[in-house]
Amino acid sequence: MIEHLYTTPVYSNFAKDYQSLNYHIDKVIDKVDFNYKKEWGATHYMSTDFMKKINIIKKLGLNKIEKEIDTHLRNYCNELNFPMRDYASESWFAKFEKGNYAHIHNHGFADISGAYYYKTNGEDGDFFFESPNPYLSTSECYIPLSQRWEYKPQEGKILLFPGWLKHGVKTNNTDNTRISLAFNICNKNNW
């Protein structure tokens, strides 16, 4: 018998009626101001609210998407046997035009991080995770477990993962503009 110890729980599921959610975002996306974060250089655009720590979901009144994320968050927490009660969140939009990418990073202070894919053609930059165990590649039998895990974005998909898990986005080599809604969630006692 093999015991799979120290696994990393990643959640992926489609939002219910995501066309309706996207319609609500369509109505407000023109109000979002995008810019590069100076410290990162010309990697990708972030909604400027990100720099001010403003919750863009609340600011734009995206109540339906907030409820949808809450549903998936509670499903994820149920699988973890963690009773999510009150939590605080922050959110922002990320935009990737041709040549843009997201460097490898984590959201270490967040209990749970996530993304909702609003606009993508599925070829405009795969999301990826790095292995949290740096020692897997030191032994030949574990090398396959040490590779990056890549996720092809799909409109309407929600992805949830531990905030400490290193991740990034591969370069968008298409002429399509990809936009995702990213968020961090913390138990209210830890915020």
- pLDDT tens for the chain, 191 residues: list them: 888 788 899 999 999 999 999 999 999 999 999 999 888 888 999 998 776 778 999 999 999 999 999 999 999 999 999 888 889 999 999 999 999 999 999 998 899 999 999 999 999 999 999 999 989 889 898 888 888 999 999 999 999 999 999 999 999 999 999 999 999 999 876 55
| Region of residue 25 (left: phi > 0; alpha: psi -120 to 50; beta: else) | alpha
Q: What is the per-residue pLDDT for 172?
A: 98
As to burial, measured by CB atoms within 10 angstroms (0-12 exposed, 13-18 middle, 19+ buried), residue 141 is exposed
Q: What is the pLDDT of residue 54?
A: 82
What is the C-alpha to C-alpha distance for residues 85 and 69, in angstroms, rounded to an integer? Answer: 14
Give the predicted TM-score (pTM) of the model.
0.92
